[in-house]
């Protein structure tokens, strides 16, 4: 009887493992969640109160999952009719020119904002070992062809909302002081910064406000009641979601729309929609 009970238990556990594995491989990586949040911004012009800002991050066009999922996700996102859209890096998982071709196809369906659409680069946008500037230029060109500006240590005011965009921390063009030295605290500002580890660097020039990041994917795999198993950041408190940095800065880490690898558990892909408030 003990032997029979053991076999039954083992069979149940095996079945549960197969179901969980299938879910993490085929269901959750494509189970998109639209996360809605309030964003309080100092100096926000009255005409922008109640408007929406959509954040899309880490789409990772590549050979590790079906990129047509991204096009389907964009079609769903367009229905929200956002006023602003920001893209916060890692648009390809570069291996060859094939990913560039697929990125062109994906971005033809890009979500655009009523007032404006901008982005920044992530480490994967610099190709192998994050050092290939020529790959980054191709990515930037694809976005420009679709009327999306990529900020590279630059800022841009769009209808009264000032975006400060950093180039990627791990890339060869990271130079945030170039733009933070121009920080004007009388404007309504938002920082776009792919890698949240930059929050711990001495480059902020007294900035207070929101920082929108990606990069971590929330680890993509998180067992209940435990921290994510893998996070590509030095500061392990930078996982996902809203994090108060207790100095006037609020960090938001998007869980990523795409998948670095086609596996997710307890960490659904995300597009974030912020409601702007004064």
Q: What is the pLDDT, as a whole number, of residue 106? A: 98
In a domain, 17, yes or no: no
**Residue 226 in tokens:** 């435990």
241-244 and 249-253 strand pairing: antiparallel
Task: Give the range of the structural domain holding residue 163, as residue numbers without chain letter.
Answer: 31-277
- Cα-to-chain-centroid distance, residue 196: 11
**Residue 146 in tokens:** 């679709």
User: According to the 3-state scheme, what is the secondary structure of 20-60?
Assistant: HHHHHHHHHHHCCEEEEEEEECCCCCHHHCCCEEEEECCCC
CA distance 249 to 42: 11
Q: What is the pLDDT, as a whole number, of residue 10? A: 46
Q: What is the pLDDT, as a whole number, of residue 19? A: 85
In a domain, 4, yes or no: no
In a domain, 241, yes or no: yes
Q: pTM of whole model > 0.85?
A: yes
CA distance 266 to 264: 7
**Residue 23 in tokens:** 């879910």
Number of domains in the chain: 1
In a domain, 201, yes or no: yes
CB within 8 A of 175, min separation 6: which ones?
Answer: 153, 167
Q: What is the pLDDT, as a whole number, of residue 6? A: 46
pLDDT tens for each residue of the chain, 278 residues long: 556 554 455 455 455 558 888 999 999 999 999 999 999 999 999 999 999 999 999 999 999 999 999 999 999 999 999 999 999 999 999 999 999 999 999 999 999 999 999 999 999 999 999 999 999 999 999 999 999 999 999 999 999 999 999 999 999 999 999 999 999 999 999 999 999 999 999 999 999 999 999 999 999 999 888 889 889 999 999 999 999 999 999 999 999 999 999 999 999 999 999 999 99
CA distance 84 to 8: 55
CATH number of the domain to which 236 belongs: 3.60.21.10
In a domain, 18, yes or no: no
In a domain, 8, yes or no: no
CA distance 95 to 241: 30
In a domain, 3, yes or no: no
Give the up-direction half-sphere exposure of residue 43: CA atoms within 13 A in the CB hemisphere.
14
In a domain, 26, yes or no: no
């Amino acid at each position: 009887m003990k032997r029979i009970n053991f076999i039954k238990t083992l069979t149940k556990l095996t079945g549960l493992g197969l179901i969980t594995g299938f879910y993490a491989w085929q269901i959750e990586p494509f189970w998109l969640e639209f996360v809605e949040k309030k964003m309080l911004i100092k100096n926000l012009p009255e005409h922008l109160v109640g408007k929406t800002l959509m954040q899309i991050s880490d789409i990772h066009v590549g050979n590790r999952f079906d990129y047509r999922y991204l096009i389907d996700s964009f079609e769903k996102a367009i229905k929200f009719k956002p006023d602003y859209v920001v893209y916060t890096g890692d648009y390809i998982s570069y291996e060859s020119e094939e990913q560039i071709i697929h990125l062109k196809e994906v971005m033809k369906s890009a979500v655009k904002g009523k007032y404006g659409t901008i982005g920044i680069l992530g480490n994967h946008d610099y190709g192998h070992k994050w050092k290939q500037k020529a790959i980054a230029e191709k990515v930037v060109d694809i976005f420009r062809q679709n009327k999306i500006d990529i900020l590279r240590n630059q800022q841009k005011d769009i209808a009264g909302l000032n975006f400060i965009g950093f180039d990627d921390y791990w890339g060869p063009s990271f130079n945030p002081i170039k733009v933070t030295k121009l920080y004007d605290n009388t404007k309504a500002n938002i920082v776009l910064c792919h890698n949240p580890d930059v929050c711990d660097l001495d480059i902020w020039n007294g900035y207070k406000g929101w920082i929108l990041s990606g990069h971590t994917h929330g680890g993509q795999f998180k067992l209940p009641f435990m921290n994510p198993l893998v996070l590509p950041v030095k500061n392990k408190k930078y996982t996902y979601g809203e994090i108060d940095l207790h100095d006037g800065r609020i960090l938001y880490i998007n869980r990523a729309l795409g998948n670095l690898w086609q596996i997710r558990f307890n960490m659904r892909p995300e597009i974030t929609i912020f409601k702007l408030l004064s």
